[in-house]
Every structure is written in structure tokens, then in C-alpha cells.
Structure 1
Amino acid sequence: MSTSTLTARIAGARPGPWTAFLLRRTGRLGVSLAALVTASFAMIHFVPGDPVRGALGIAATPEAVATREHALGLDRSLPSQYRHFVTGLFHGDLGESITTRMPVSDLIGERLPATMEIALAAFVLVMLVAIPLGMAAAVYTRNGRRRRGELAFIGTTGAISAIPEFLLAVGLTSVFAVSLGWFPVALRDGPDSYVLPVLALSIAPIASLARIVRVEALRVFEADYMRTARAKRLPARLVYLRHALPNLLTSSLTLGGLLLGGLLAGTVLVENVFAWPGLGMTIVQAIIQKDYPLVQGVVLVYGAAALLINFAVDCAVALADPKSTIRGS
């Protein structure tokens, strides 16, 4: 077999652009997950003080502390603990809570749905409101028109996007729950109880994404295909919905996926304002109680969720824009 023939066969065996893209992204995801697992394992060993002593209290006897450390495997060598931790992850075992002595995976399984409910509801609300709002603002201020309206939009959305979720949650509670009594103050009890937590999570991201969508829409409006569509005397509604909106969705999808990771992080503060029984409230209680295995498990879940969301967004963008799989992104 000639060298040229062998080279041609090897070249023909190379994976296609989509397969290569998936291999790259999966490899990066694997490395990131490995780093996350190692960091979450190291967290419990580099925190100041004895976590078992801190959880059991200063009145606990040395025998009780030693017994609990043995039960948790903390008296083993670090390499042995790490192997046990990683092996447990493959079997869904995140260890045991120091304070409740329940499996961490069971505690997370009980609280995770409540967190995902408000995070996903906030994400849907952000996408449904921010994209039309940003596009409408771009249409209203296109070609430098209505300068005052543009400044008002930029100033208002900039101010709203800078408000922390915690302050929004407190403000919404004071006005709509305490003063007006329209919604429950706290707890997860009925559809009404979702309104204020979801709003507290979504208001600032709506303002942030709407600003970005407006800028992207103004760029899209100047594209050649938009000039062609307008030259055909198509109705404005068709020009914006059929030609501009699909080209905005790719960038909006990417930003929306990143926002979803931020929304998950924002649940930590919002859940504690509304006494929402999710992972955010769980991790704060675990930190107060010095229940480091539970903190470790929740941090691992939050981190893995953020990485998987970014992976899913990359794949979705690649499907929407196949050229991105060829550019080696």
C-alpha cells in the first residue's frame, strides 16, 4: 500500500466536525468535573479547625469525636479518603451528614427539586420578557432616533441590573407580602408562594439580558439580509420576526444559559429570605452547623450543574449555528 493511499485512509477516518466538537467539549467537561471534585474534597480538609468537633460541639468527649471521625472515614490517610470519595460519587454516595447522620445524597435529593423549580421558572420568565423587551427597545431607538428613550432604557435597566437578588427579595417581601398582603411571606405552599422568589431571581437578569439583546438587535438590523428584506417592502412585523429574531436567538441562548447558572447561585440568598426549602437554604444551615460533608455535597451539585448547563448551551448553540463546530470553538 502506497504512502499516499494510507494517508488518504487515515484522513478519511478522522471524525467529522460535529463529532470532533463533541469530543472537545466532553473532554473539557471531564477535566472541569475532575477539578471540581478535587476542590470540593480539599475544601473539608483545609477549613480551619476540626469539622467533627465543630459540629458536635465543645462538650463532646474525645471518644465521641474519634468515633464520629471513624464513621465518616476522616481518620484515614488523604489518598485513601480521596479514593473512597471518588468511588462513592460513581455510586451516588456523597457521604454522611455530621449533624443529621443521614446520607448527603438523600438530603440533596429532597431539597434539589425546590431549587430547580424557582431557578427554571425564573429562567423561562427572563427569556420570555428580556428578548422581546430588548428587541422592542432596539426598534424604538434604531438609527439614533428617540435619544431620550434610549437613555431612559439604558439608565433604568442599568440601575435594575445592579440590584442584588437579596435586596430585591427583601423589597418584594416588604411591599407585596407584608404591606399589601398579596402573596405569602415565606415557605413553599401553593402557586402564590412561587411568585416573589421567582421575581426576585429574574428582575435583574431581565434588565441585563434586555440591554444585551438591544445591542445585538441593532447590529442585526444593519446586516445585508435585513436591508434586502426591507427593500422587498415586507411588513415590518415579518422583517423583525422572520429575519431579525432567529439571528438573535443564538446569542440570546448562549447568554440565557449563562444566566441560568447565575440564577442557581442566586437561589442561595433568595431561598433564605423566603425560607424556601431548597439547596440554598440547606447550604447556609450546613455552614452555620459546621456540617462540612453536607456543604461539600451541595457545592459539588451547584458546580456540576453550572458545568453541565454550559455544556448543554454549547451543544445547543452548535446545533443552531453549525459553523461554530468547524471554527474549533
Structure 2
Amino acid sequence: MTTAALPTRPPLAARLRDDAWLAFAVRRLGRFVVSVWVLVTASFLMIHLVPGDPARASLGMNAPAETVAARREALGLDQPLLTQYWDFLTGLLHGDLGTSTMSSLPVAQVIGDRLPATLQLAVLAFVVVIAVAIPLGVTMAVLTRGGRRRGAELGFTTTSVLLAAVPEFLLAVILAYVFAVSLGWFPVAGNTDPGAAVLPVLALAIGPAAVLSRIVRVEMLAVLGEDFVRTARAKRLPPLRIYLRHALPNALTATLTLGGLLLTTLVASTVLIENVFAWPGLGSQIVGSILDRDYPMVQGIVLVYGALVLVVNLVVDVVLAVLDPRSTIKEG
């Protein structure tokens, strides 16, 4: 009596060669893991590359040598570099980012308390950017296609360039002076008032919205010149259906790519904006920690900012792969 041979699974290399999605996932996951390792290593070395002794800096130049030695031992700075690196890695796996040299609080606790405020600003600003830039870019593309309405095109281009050129810090100061100090419409600092987020979000969103709206317009103009759009017009389809169902989805790939990059920029830009409006997030915390030479706190916040950027980039790559599966093959 003979038994049928059990089917064998092809080796991983063959599966990666035949399955574009699997190959894409392995590549992206590998890049993400390597990037996280580089980020963790760089943030660890940061505290050792900064001139001076972190223990001495936290205690002051007049602190007794015995006190400084005790602080170095408490921070683990008296151990060999590889031992410190291993302790740092194992601590991260358990959610331990160290202890603040100024407040003696766990760094993870302070970051956990302040991270939601930073994410609130970045996410709200991103929503405003998308909600303004896409409709505005599409509208300007429709109005100015084929060289029409030169005046509107010139006004849109000039205004968007000027708004994109203004630094977020300067824009935040102008908004605070005009709408908070002079007119008193919004609070000038803090996040306790319901309207306190309006000015920081606008300061973050105006420049990126101007940039993204120009990109949307250019992409939409290119799509409106394609043959399938002309065919849709020849069939006398309603203009709104042509623009929203046929043209817009084909113009969104580049828009979403840039939008994901803008989200990482918005996260980084919160550092300056939070300090203008005294917003209790990571941005104001890291500036205070730098001034106080609280290196473990700075190290932890830099690590969190870097991790946020890496995660956002990973999510953008996955979303683009879902919207355009051909991109998984192009990279292979």
C-alpha cells in the first residue's frame, strides 16, 4: 500500500520571488527593524558624545566629587560602555527609558504624560492640512485647466509660495500676537481652554497646506489631461462624477506620499510651536531638559520622536502599497 507524498512548501526564497506582497512585507519589516536599531544606538551614544559629564552637569560644577561619583553609579555611567548599551536595550524592552536627573521621575512616565498633547497637535494639524489642501488643489486645477483663469492661477501660486515660505515659529508668533494678545479671541498659552489648540494647529498647518495644495493641483491637472478623462467627457458624464470618481483617485498617490512625509514634519515642528504657546507636550519638555542638561530625558524624547517618524513612514508605505499594488512589484 502506497501513500501519496505530502506536498512540500516551496523554500522562502522562491516564495519571496513569486509573492510580491510577501516580498514587500519582508523588505519593509527588515528596513524598519534596522532603522529602529540605528535609532536606538544613536540615542544611546548621544549621551556619551555630548561634551562633559552628565552626572556633573546635573549636580552643578561645585558638587563634591563623592556626590558626583554616587550619581554616576546611580545612572550606570561607571559601567563599561557595552554593559551600559546592553542595560539600555534590555530596559527598552521592558519600557524603561531611564530616570530624569532633574525630577528623579521615570522618563517613560514623563513622556507618557506629555506625548498625548504632542500627538493632539500633530494629528489635528494633519487633518486640517488634508481637509484644506485636497479640495483647494482640486478646485484650482478644475478652474485653471487648459490655461484658463490666469489671474486666479497667479494669485493661488503667489499666495501658496508666500505662506509656505514663512517659518512655523514666525507664523506662530504672528498668530499669537494678532489673535491672542491684540484681539483676545484665543488663549495665548496652555491647553486648558477648549480653543487653546486653534492657534498652534494653524501655525503648524498653514505652510504644509499651501505646499500640498500646489502638489494636488499639479497632479490633478496631469490626470485631467489623460485619455480616460477625455473619454468620460465624451460620454457626457456629470463633471462632478468625472472629477471625484475618475480623476481624483488617480491623483491621490503622490498626494498621500507627500502627506505622509508632511505628517512626520508636523511631529517634528511641534517642538518650536509648543514653546511659543507653552503647550505641555514633548516639545516644551525637551527644550527645558536641554537647558537643564537632563540627558536621560533628552535621550528618551529623541528616541520617541524618531520612533514616531519611522512608524508614520511604515504606515504610509503600507497604505500606498494597498492603493497601488504595482509599487510592490516596482521595488522588487
Shift of 1:299: 0.4
Aligned match of 2:109: 106
Shift of 1:239: 0.7
Name the Cα RMSD after superposition. 1.7
> TM-score scaled to structure 1, two decimals?
0.95
2:232 equivalent among 218, 229, 234: 229
- Give me the identity figure in percent: 60
Shift of 1:8: 10
Say which SS state the counterpart of residue 326 (structure 1) adopts: helix
Shift of 1:190: 2.6
Aligned match of 2:323: 320
Q: Which deviates more, 248-257 or 287-296?
A: 248-257
Deviations 1:224-272 (A, max 9, x none): 2111111111111111011111112222221111111000000000000
2:21 equivalent among 2, 18, 25: 18
1:260 equivalent among 259, 263, 270: 263
Say which SS state the counterpart of residue 189 (structure 1) adopts: coil
Q: Structure 2 matches for 1:156-167, cutoff 5 A?
A: 156-167=159-170
Residues in 1 aligned to 2:124 and 2:75: alpha-carbon distance in whole angstroms? 37
Residues in 2 aligned to 1:94 and 1:46: alpha-carbon distance in whole angstroms? 18
Aligned match of 2:278: 275
Aligned match of 2:3: none
Find runs of 4+ consecutive structure 1 residues off by over 6 angstroms: none
1:129 equivalent among 118, 128, 132: 132
Shift of 1:163: 0.9
Q: Which amino acid aligns with 1:117?
A: Q
Q: Which deviates more, 48-57 or 296-305?
A: 48-57
Q: Which amino acid aligns with 1:14?
A: R
Residues in 2 aligned to 1:92 and 1:7: alpha-carbon distance in whole angstroms? 41
2:121 equivalent among 118, 121, 133: 118
Shift of 1:10: 4.7
Structure 1, unaligned stretches of length 5 or more? Answer: 1-5
Aligned match of 1:289: 292
Q: Which deviates more, 145-154 or 229-238?
A: 145-154
Say which SS state the counterpart of residue 193 (structure 1) adopts: coil
Q: Structure 2 matches for 1:180-199, cutoff 5 A?
A: 180-199=183-202
Residues in 2 aligned to 1:75 and 1:165: alpha-carbon distance in whole angstroms? 42
Residues in 2 aligned to 1:221 and 1:78: alpha-carbon distance in whole angstroms? 59
Aligned match of 1:3: none
Aligned match of 1:178: 181
Deviations 1:167-209 (A, max 9, x none): 1110000000000000001001132001011101100000010
Aligned match of 2:209: 206
CA contact (8 A) 2:286 2:298 kept: yes
Q: Residues 132 and 71 of structure 1: is their aligned pair in 2 closer, same or farther, counting only changes over 3 Å? A: same
1:140 equivalent among 143, 160, 172: 143
Shift of 1:49: 1.1
Aligned match of 1:65: 68
1:245 equivalent among 244, 248, 267: 248
Aligned match of 2:47: 44
Q: Residues 224 and 93 of structure 1: is their aligned pair in 2 closer, same or farther, counting only changes over 3 Å? A: same
Residues in 1 aligned to 2:308 and 2:173: alpha-carbon distance in whole angstroms? 27
Pairing 1:85–2:94 present: no
Residues in 1 aligned to 2:10 and 2:328: alpha-carbon distance in whole angstroms? 23
CA contact (8 A) 2:187 2:193 kept: no
Residues in 2 aligned to 1:8 and 1:286: alpha-carbon distance in whole angstroms? 54
Residues in 1 aligned to 2:255 and 2:218: alpha-carbon distance in whole angstroms? 11
Q: Which deviates more, 171-180 or 149-158?
A: 149-158
Residues in 1 aligned to 2:233 and 2:40: alpha-carbon distance in whole angstroms? 53
Residues in 2 aligned to 1:118 and 1:11: alpha-carbon distance in whole angstroms? 43
Aligned match of 2:100: 97
Residues in 2 aligned to 1:190 and 1:206: alpha-carbon distance in whole angstroms? 25
Residues in 1 aligned to 2:200 and 2:164: alpha-carbon distance in whole angstroms? 16
Q: Which amino acid aligns with 1:290?
A: R
Q: Which deviates more, 68-77 or 142-151?
A: 142-151
Q: Which amino acid aligns with 1:143?
A: G
Residues in 2 aligned to 1:285 and 1:298: alpha-carbon distance in whole angstroms? 12
Shift of 1:63: 1.1
Q: Residues 75 and 223 of structure 1: is their aligned pair in 2 closer, same or farther, counting only changes over 3 Å? A: same
Structure 2, unaligned stretches of length 5 or more? Answer: 1-6
User: How many residue pairs align between the two structures?
Assistant: 324
Aligned match of 2:4: none
